[in-house]
Chains A and B, each alone.
Chain A
Amino acid sequence: MSVLYLLVPIALLLAGAGVAAFFWSVRSGQFDDVETPAIRVLVDEERPRSSDESPRP
């Protein structure tokens, strides 16, 4: 059972990484509009999207 002393902290680290990713995605506005990106997938296009996809600061 003593392996848990190692596994639980690793699990917590993973959870922390998840939270950090979530924090970043909220801050960059990915949850502000959850509908349009789903539609954008349908648009198959040769389009070379410009590098700055979200111009909002």
Chain B
Amino acid sequence: MTPAAPSIEAGDQPGAEASAPAPDTACVHCGLPVGAAPVGTDPYFCCSGCEIVYHALHESGFGDTYYRLSDVAREREPEPAKTSIDPLVLSELDTDGFLEDHTEQQADGTRTADLFLDGVHCAACVWLVERLPQELDGVLAATLDLPRARLSLHWDPDACRLSTVAEWLLQFGYVAHPVRQDASESRTEGERSLLVKVGVTWALAGNVMLLALAFYAGLDVSGDPGLATAARWLSMLLATVSVGYGGGEFVRRAGASIRLALRTRSLRSLHMDIPIALGILVGYADSAWSTVTGSGEVWFDSITVLIAALLTARWLQLRSRRLAGDATDRLLSLLPSMVRRVGPDGTVDTVRLDEIHRGDLVRVPTGEVVPVDGVVASGESTINNAVLTGESRPESVRAGSDVAAGATNLRAPLDVLVQAAGPESRVGRLLDWIHDGAAPRARVASLADRLTGYFVSGVAVLALATALIWWWIEPSAVATHVVALLVITCPCALGMATPLALAVAAGKAAQAGIFLKNESATQHLTEIDAVVVDKTGTLTDGRLSLIDAVGDEQAIDRAAALEAHSTHPIAEALVRARGSCSRDGSTGAGRTDPSQVAPAVAPTVAPAVGPVVEDVDAVSGQGIRGRVDGHDVIVGRPDWVRTFTSTWPDDPDRFTEWAEHGHTPVAVAVDGRLAVALSFGDALRPDSADILSMLDAMGTDVSLLSGDHPTVVSAVARSLGLPADRARGHVMPEDKQAAVERLQQEGRTVAMIGDGVNDAAALQAADVGIAVEGGSTASLVAADVFLTRDGLSPVADLFRGADRVMGVIRRNLSFSLFYNVAGAAAAMSGVVGPLVAAVAMPLSSLVVVTSSILQRSFPSPEPTGSPAPGSPDRPPTHAPSPSP
């Protein structure tokens, strides 16, 4: 079955020669809207990546099956296909060092490895990826784990190289990268052993319940002494295993908590495990005594079910935590650990970063990230420090300039003399600091744990009261009723109320592109009353783009055609603003960010009828001139362009005004006349203003701290309606951290939203650190919450979701407390027996479980095709451009 061709809305555009599809027509490959500038002619694609993959699938004969399966089990957000991969990652896959560190050799010389695979999202992906063994000789087995986007590969290194596998996957739009810094192994191990405990305790509980059923059905010691005694002893045997194997965890943690409480002399150190352990131990001891003496009640069934249910809740919580852990691993593994080293004879070879030493020479091609701290040895270029310092304007570097790891090289290749690499570089040291600093942070008592002190005291008082009352009524029944009280008030539902709600919320949040790395963040988010926001890359895109243009539209296109011959960042921004999205379809472009592909590529994909450009002359630091379609075109600094124009309007204020706003003004002259005035700058994200007004409406104090120039910062603050005293520029990373800590000392609960290396310390110090999409490694590691959805709208979802989760938790806690009070009253009046406990306890837990699962905290992602054309949800590279 071939995919249905998209409907062509010819009627809407009468007179159009080849009528373009409606912007919301689904891309034939990925299903996202094609936008205003679709690629291809019937079928239409959203980008050339999808087009390439579509044809690759059909040429290899996979097309029919792929598109038949692609709608099955499509629970994940599809993305436009990527067809380029970092050549450094590819070359690393074949190095001996990589094979040694990240793959495992089997007895027969074959190897196994895990790779992350970006772009897998549906049944068709599973089918296609798992065809690897049939398609490539040397691949023995390929198993895809779809939720984790991990491919387990078993291959013969002599018959097939790993890079060949990656290239095969790439032609269908899957980008493979190695699994690095893998913490998932230990997480999996922890999950598995807890899951075994859950299974064993449920099996024991089930059998104990069966035996208990016999007692409830009428079996008793007087009627059939032999059978009843045997059943009791057997129950005790099973319950002993359950208490010792499953319940031991609660007892151990309760003991630790009591010791801590004694040391700190504070009820606040008590946590929920204490009443749980107390209920289990008292119930078990009393039942064991009844079994031995042959008289009294046995509670074994209630206890074993309690243990199994609580372990299940704990396992679910653990499992939900792996979502954030896996996502972190995946993002961190994207960093290439290969470097281009320039040898003494001038040859360039790629080596692993850990083989680089001080004094080596490293080449950084255009568009790549500088991998080391060092000094430029040769070359002249512009680098973007936005991630490191927050400066939005690119900085020029030449021989002798210092460059730091993490900066992006924008214009021309650079050779850098290494001064520090890896962990010794500034970014490396910062990462170490964050890792070390993460541990001693004070554990925040969760809401449920804060209740525990009161809860334990309350239960103790009630137990005493019960003892006194029954001592007075009937002394022989004291023990029975006190035990009944302790068992029935054992806070099963209370202990599950928080973890379950948080576990379900973490799963829903992850589906919405929000990853909660630590659970106390959810609670803190509802208490935030001060927010510190970074500017570059957070409120803004973090790169130059065309912000404003006044003048002749055609002249802009001519300027863009001319600028396509330059590699200046401004030229790149202009070409990007006027070009189509198809650039990232060019294969083999070795860039980490397809949007930063040098404009030199643009002419190759420009339509054949594009303008003719001749006599190009780029003047460094001033601008560029040339002939476009027979017209003289000059683009550059206004004062430079002015020297070529005979007439200059009397309204030069526009340029000064733009400069005052922190933007870069550019003039375009055509045939000796000023034709258009352009303004370039770091564009605000479309949703920035909404977020700030939402935070404001929540009653939080928002302050803007940026490392960028104060003029730019105050201009951004003005356009966002932020008071001038709340926005500061030239803020050092240490000052950001200090600012956060100062707010905390004033008693505020502070959230920090940022993306850069310079934000990492503040993210770490804040009560909740939120790293936005595309942030630096350091911010990702330091943050408590990170976003994988573009823009700032997930921040709003995060705050709203956290509010709702806390609502669910409060609802759960109130219900559990109500249940416990009712249970205590019943036990004191003497109506609670083992049967009542066996029915009431699971019922209360069931209510809490249902309430947690049915929560509507985070919005689940819309089905395919949700983002409106040109909406901020789309990657910036696919922004529709006006048709020429």
Do A43 and B127 touch across chains, with their CB atoms under 8 A apart? Answer: yes
Q: Distance in Å from the Cβ of A34 to the closest Cβ of chain B? A: 8
- Bound Cα distance A22, B197 (Å): 10
Contact with A along B181-218 (1 / 0, CB 8 A): 00000001001100110011001001100110000000
Do A55 and B152 touch across chains, with their CB atoms under 8 A apart? Answer: yes
B146's nearest neighbour on chain A, judged by CB, is A36
Q: Distance in Å from the Cβ of A38 to the closest Cβ of chain B? A: 7
Count the A-B residue pairs with Cβ separation under 8 angstroms: how many?
96
B277 contacts the other chain (CB 8 A): no
Do A52 and B140 touch across chains, with their CB atoms under 8 A apart? Answer: yes
B192's nearest neighbour on chain A, judged by CB, is A26
Within residues 126 to 151 of chain B, which ones have a CB less than 8 A from any CB in chain A? 126-127, 130-131, 133-134, 140-141, 143-148
Q: Known contacts being A23-B196, A50-B133, A52-B140, is A36 close to B154, with CB within 8 Å?
A: no
Which of A26, A31, A38, A43 is B69 in contact with, Cβ under 8 Å? A43
Contact with A along B227-247 (1 / 0, CB 8 A): 100110010000000000000
B72 contacts the other chain (CB 8 A): yes
Which residues of the other chain, A, contact B207 by a CB distance below 8 angstroms?
Answer: 11-12, 15
Which residues of the other chain, A, contact B152 by a CB distance below 8 angstroms?
Answer: 54-56
Which residues of the other chain, A, contact B234 by a CB distance below 8 angstroms?
Answer: 8, 12
Within residues 15 to 57 of chain A, which ones have a CB less than 8 A from any CB in chain B? 15, 18-19, 22-23, 26-27, 29, 31-33, 35-36, 38-40, 42-43, 45, 47, 50, 52-57
Which residues of the other chain, A, contact B153 by a CB distance below 8 angstroms?
Answer: 55
Which of B72, B131, B141, B145 is A32 in contact with, Cβ under 8 Å? B145
Which of B141, B148, B192, B199 is A55 in contact with, Cβ under 8 Å? B141
Q: Known contacts being A47-B134, A55-B143, is A39 close to B203, with CB within 8 Å?
A: no
B84 contacts the other chain (CB 8 A): no
Do B144 and A36 touch across chains, with their CB atoms under 8 A apart? Answer: yes
B114's nearest neighbour on chain A, judged by CB, is A56
- Bound Cα distance A23, B104 (Å): 25
- Bound Cα distance A56, B104 (Å): 9
Do A39 and B146 touch across chains, with their CB atoms under 8 A apart? Answer: yes
Which residues of the other chain, B, contact A35 by a CB distance below 8 angstroms?
Answer: 73, 146-147
Which residues of the other chain, A, contact B227 by a CB distance below 8 angstroms?
Answer: 1-2, 4-5
Q: Known contacts being A31-B192, A47-B134, is A57 close to B104, with CB within 8 Å?
A: yes
Q: Distance in Å from the Cβ of B131 to the closest Cβ of chain A? A: 8
- Bound Cα distance A47, B141 (Å): 12
Q: Known contacts being A1-B224, A26-B192, is A50 close to B126, with CB within 8 Å?
A: no
B171 contacts the other chain (CB 8 A): no
B231's nearest neighbour on chain A, judged by CB, is A8
Which of A8, A11, A26 is B199 in contact with, Cβ under 8 Å? A26
Which residues of the other chain, A, contact B210 by a CB distance below 8 angstroms?
Answer: 11
Within residues 215 to 268 of chain B, which ones have a CB less than 8 A from any CB in chain A? 224, 227, 230-231, 234
- Bound Cα distance A29, B185 (Å): 11
Do B134 and A18 touch across chains, with their CB atoms under 8 A apart? Answer: no
Do A33 and B148 touch across chains, with their CB atoms under 8 A apart? Answer: yes
Which of A22, A45, A52, A54 is B196 in contact with, Cβ under 8 Å? A22
Which residues of the other chain, B, contact A19 by a CB distance below 8 angstroms?
Answer: 199-200, 203
Which of A12, A15, A23, A36 is B145 in contact with, Cβ under 8 Å? A36
Which of B72, B123, B188, B230 is A5 in contact with, Cβ under 8 Å? B230
Which of B123, B140, B230 is A43 in contact with, Cβ under 8 Å? B123
Contact with A along B85-108 (1 / 0, CB 8 A): 000000000000000000010100
B366 contacts the other chain (CB 8 A): no
Q: Known contacts being A26-B195, A26-B196, A52-B140, is A42 close to B203, with CB within 8 Å?
A: no
Q: Distance in Å from the Cβ of A6 to the closest Cβ of chain B? A: 12
Which residues of the other chain, A, contact B191 by a CB distance below 8 angstroms?
Answer: 32
Which residues of the other chain, A, contact B104 by a CB distance below 8 angstroms?
Answer: 57
Do A15 and B148 touch across chains, with their CB atoms under 8 A apart? Answer: no
Q: Distance in Å from the Cβ of B300 to the closest Cβ of chain A? A: 15
Which residues of the other chain, A, contact B112 by a CB distance below 8 angstroms?
Answer: 55-57
Do B141 and A23 touch across chains, with their CB atoms under 8 A apart? Answer: no
Within residues 760 to 805 of chain B, which ones have a CB less than 8 A from any CB in chain A? none
A40's nearest neighbour on chain B, judged by CB, is B126
Interchain residue pairs A-B with the least CB separation, the first 10? A55-B154, A33-B145, A36-B146, A22-B199, A39-B123, A55-B112, A43-B127, A19-B203, A39-B126, A39-B73
Q: A23-B200, A36-B146 are in contact. List 6 more A-B contacts (CB 8 A).
A: A8-B211, A42-B72, A55-B106, A55-B140, A55-B141, A57-B112
Q: Provide 20 A-B residue pairs closer than 8 Å at the C-beta atoms, listed in order of the A residue.
A: A11-B210, A12-B207, A19-B199, A19-B200, A19-B203, A22-B196, A23-B199, A26-B199, A31-B192, A32-B145, A32-B188, A32-B192, A35-B147, A38-B73, A42-B69, A42-B123, A43-B130, A52-B140, A55-B106, A55-B112
